[in-house]
Amino acid sequence: MTLSFNDIFRSRKSDQHSEGVGFVQDYYRLNNPQNIRLNLSYRFGKIDMSLFKRQNLKSQGEGMQNAQMQ
């Protein structure tokens, strides 16, 4: 289980002030809203790693036999 948070205190903000001839502009924005994410993962069954080792040894043995034949 994993729990993650983004910007819990809403501190990601952007302020902008612009002035020119005949105008004044103030801009305020929250860049990313608050996010909370919960991930759950579950492994079904038990993985027998010896199955992978046996297959690996067979393919390596075949490769060596083919190399010796050439």
First to last CA, the chain: 53
Share of the chain above pLDDT 70, in %: 73
Instruction: Kindly state whether residue 34 falls inside one of the protein's structural domains.
Output: yes
Q: For residue 1, what are the domain limits?
A: 1-46
pLDDT, residue 70, reads 53
Distance from C-alpha of 20 to C-alpha of 23, rounded to nearest angstrom: 5
* Residue 68 confidence class, pLDDT cut points 50, 70, 90: low
Q: Give the C-alpha distances (Å, rounded to integers) separating 58 from 4, 13, 30, 45.
A: 44, 59, 59, 25
**pTM beyond cutoff 0.85:** no
Residue 54 included in any domain: no
C-beta neighbour count of 32 within 10 angstroms: 10
The tally of domains found in the chain comes to 1
**Mean pLDDT, rounded, for 28-32:** 81
